[in-house]
Amino acid sequence: MTLDLPRNARLYLRPVQFADSPIERDGEVARLAGGLVWFSAWELIAVENGRRILQRTIPIADLPDDERLHAIAARITAPRVPLTLGERVLRFDQPQVMGILNLTPDSFSDGGKHSDDPEAAAGVGMAAEGATLIDVGGESTRPGAKEVWEGDEIKRVVPVIERLARSGTLVSADTRKAGVMEAALAAGAHIVNDVSALLWDDRALDVVVRAQCPVVLMHAGDPKQGADGGAGYGDPLIEVYDWLETRIDAVVAAGVDRARIMADPGIGFGKTLSHNLALLNGLALFHGLGVPLLLGASRKRIIGALSNEAPADQRLGGSLALALKGAELGVQLLRVHDVPETVQALRVWRGMRDAALVGR
């Protein structure tokens, strides 16, 4: 296909028109990031001066002969490299569950019930229930939450991380602070999960570079300014994508292997309901970043906003709906509170995928 694509326009590709199976569809469908999802068309978007000047759906076989588009398409379809973390391997060829272990007295979702639990029974239990890794955090990052002193955060998380690591569980450290990252990694954590994308603490990037550990970079807006972070997005999907792409490039330039970076669009952080919905509906666009994606939508305010203001502990149905939405769009990591329910939902989803791959 021939299209007149301005050289100064920013180009984007979003996989659309997903298929149950690639059987007998050679050349008609492409595999998304080496996973269990196939798609048959691209949504091609061209942006100039912050405005979409082109938005067109085209079959994958008709991708215009433009080197910029082919580079994006190659990133979208390339398998994500597995991470070897000690004796464990974290694979990205199917969706994995990251269990949330909050060790904060003011946690919005569990009321601090796991606070001061050095035995980390809850984390071990989530691993037994099917969580591939456990995300341990000692500071709430919800809007308006009080900042926790670094020493207190370390005191909360290190005993738990040590216990989980000794049990053979994969652990990520949910923190913005360089000192906590260092202590968590020394205690056996394998991954740093930073809601500020290594920007909140001036030393954080250096810690990750020296450790050469995998890192999750999240887009947060400015949650200190309230639910919408003061954000006046003209096009939230494109603007969050651009921000993450720029941040990933900066972290790679600093010395972190791109294959050890994951990206999170930051549902609920500095975004309104409409922003969050735009990001969720457009999630597949983020595969163009060429890194594994993490979706953290479990029990978020968006669910309450769409279901008669259901409180956090009554948002299981919405959480499962968003987790399955992520799986359908190729997200590799699903960060959730309700591990057994999510694992069961994904097993059913996987069963349907496997049946489709067998064919008639």
Domain ranges of the chain: 10-77, 83-356
Tell whether the model's pLDDT for residue 3 goes beyond 80: no
Q: Which CATH superfamily is domain 83-356 in?
A: Dihydropteroate synthase-like (3.20.20.20)
**Residue 111: pLDDT band with limits 50, 70, 90:** very low
Please say if 210 is a catalytic residue: no
For residue 81, count CB atoms less than 10 angstroms from its CB and return exposed for 0-12, middle for 13-18, buried for 19 or more. Answer: middle
Round to whole Å and give the CA distance between 311 and 6: 48
Lookup: tokens for 151: 């020493």
Contact between residue 273 and residue 57 where contact means Cβ atoms under 8 Å apart:
no
pLDDT tens digits for 263-288?
A: 999 999 999 999 999 999 999 999 99
Mean predicted confidence (pLDDT) in 165-187: 97
**What is the model's pTM?**
0.93
Residue 28 phi, psi (nearest 5) = -100, -25
pLDDT tens digits for 184-212?
A: 999 999 999 999 999 999 999 999 999 99
Contact between residue 181 and residue 210 where contact means Cβ atoms under 8 Å apart:
no
User: Among the options 10, 300, 315, 353, which is catalytic?
Assistant: 300
3-state secondary structure 152-163: HHHHHHHHHHHH
pLDDT tens digits for 154-166?
A: 999 999 999 999 9
Please say if 300 is a catalytic residue: yes
pLDDT tens digits for 116-136?
A: 555 567 899 999 999 999 999
13-25 exposure pattern, b = at least 16 Cβ within 10 A, e = fewer: bbbbebbeebeee
Mean predicted confidence (pLDDT) in 208-222: 94
